Amino acid sequence: MPKSYQGHTPRKRFGQNFLVDEQVISQITTAVNPQKNDTIVEIGPGLGAITEELVAQCDNVSLVELDRDLAAKLQARFTPEQAQVYAEDALKFDFNRITEAEHELRIIGNLPYNISTPLLFHIFSYNHHVKDMFFMLQKELVDRITAPHNCKQYGRLSVISQYHCDTEYLFTVPPHAFNPQPKVQSAIIKLSPKPLSSLPAIEPAHFSLVVSKAFNQRRKTLRNALKGVLDDGQIADANVNPKLRAENLSVDDFVRLSEQYDPQRNADQETD
């Protein structure tokens, strides 16, 4: 059983590893550079190590914490004027509840590694209200998010993330910066949502389907991996070589492929 820290025993099912290194806390705060009028949301604040720095510099801080014991500690530590605490699951949280017309959200979080990917995809759906995001993630995940095409780390997470955001690997965080220490390296990533006006007008479900199918069998050529989704003609019309593999395609290539997907055409072919 993990040892108690500041009167709280870390819960493995919540993926709790508390950041305790003051230098790393300072690095994160410096990277975020919170301003007095920012609207900041911190996901998984834990015992409030970073929160302490945020409330000292920003007037509008909200905390989303699933662990009700920790949420109670946070409510006891910070006044409602300092931080609004939501004892809720970030995977289901409606971030529209916090948005203000004048200020976009800035989201910060030490995300539980076991739910990082679905949580990121959930947050991306609110990108039109978000200025930037700073997340502590497993280093391997940050490597995948920021990976360029034509490398083995490049995959579905890379494409979806880079479609929605500009990504920046900030710095690595060693295990000894946490209590308890995780078994893996961590890293801080900055995600800056792209303006909606700059994004191609695609159907999100079609884009997700094409990307997922292409990487589900990543060692196969697109001709085989996308069988039943796109035929050679549609792939060629997207100006993509069907003999390539998914990892060889840029985000723009996947956008063009998704534009070729026609659910009705697929349904007609299945009934022939």
Q: Are residues 125 and 224 in the same domain?
A: no
Whole-Å CA distances, 18 to 45, 148, 206: 9, 31, 39
Residue 23 lies in a domain: yes
Q: Are residues 139 and 221 in the same domain?
A: no
Window from 78-87, 150-159, 196-205 with minimum mean pLDDT: 196-205
User: Average of pLDDT values for 189-204?
Assistant: 89
Q: Which residue has the tokens 């609110």?
A: 126
Q: Are residues 66 and 159 in the same domain?
A: yes
Residue 4 lies in a domain: no
Q: Are residues 120 and 169 in the same domain?
A: yes
Question: What number of other Cβ atoms are within 10 A of residue 256's Cβ?
Answer: 18
Question: Which pTM value belongs to this model?
Answer: 0.90
User: Average of pLDDT values for 201-228?
Assistant: 94
- State which residues form the domain around 97: 12-198
d(CA 233, CA 265): 13
CATH number of the domain that residue 179 is part of? 3.40.50.150
Residue 18 lies in a domain: yes
Sign of CA dihedral 148, 150, 144, 184: negative
Residue ending a domain, choose from 159, 179, 198: 198
**Backbone φ and ψ of 248, nearest 5°:** -85, -10
Q: Are residues 26 and 125 in the same domain?
A: yes
Please list the alpha-helical segments (H only) found in the chain. Answer: 22-32, 49-57, 68-77, 116-124, 139-146, 156-164, 204-216, 222-225, 232-237, 251-260, 263-271
Q: Which two tokens stand for residue 247?
A: 């990892």
Taking only the tens place, the pLDDT of each residue in 13-67 is: 445 688 999 999 999 999 999 999 999 999 999 889 999 999 999 999 999 999 9
Taking only the tens place, the pLDDT of each residue in 222-270 is: 999 999 999 999 999 999 999 999 999 999 999 999 999 988 766 555 5
C-alpha dihedral (86, 88, 93, 99), degrees to nearest 10 = 0
d(CA 4, CA 73): 14
Question: What number of other Cβ atoms are within 10 A of residue 93's Cβ?
Answer: 20
Residue 6 lies in a domain: no
Q: Are residues 131 and 254 in the same domain?
A: no
